[in-house]
Structure 1
Amino acid sequence: MKVRSSVRALKRKPGSVVVRRRGRVRVVNRTNPRWNSRQG
């Protein structure tokens, strides 16, 4: 699966982790939940 550029920009933020859950790519950020996102 291609990762969208908006998701790729969010993974550079401090504290963010890229996780695959149920076939979806998610960016989970515990330090700032505003940067959570999903693709797919």
Structure 2
Amino acid sequence: MRKPDVLIFLSLLAIIGSAVTSIAAEERRDPTVLASEASIR
């Protein structure tokens, strides 16, 4: 592969990785917030 192809590939990997981690973090955050609210009440 030429260098521009490698740069595009790496940038795509970074974008996809960040999107997946942000989605997973949001899904993981909801149950903990609900559990903490229930425990406070």
Higher relative contact order, chain-length normalized (CA < 8 Å, sep 6+)? 1
TM-score range, shorter chain: under 0.3
Could you state the TM-score of these two structures normalised by the residue count of structure 1?
0.27
Structure holding more helix per residue: 2
- Higher CA-based Rg: 2
Q: Which has the larger share of strand?
A: 1
Query: What TM-score, normalized by structure 2, do the two folds share?
Result: 0.27
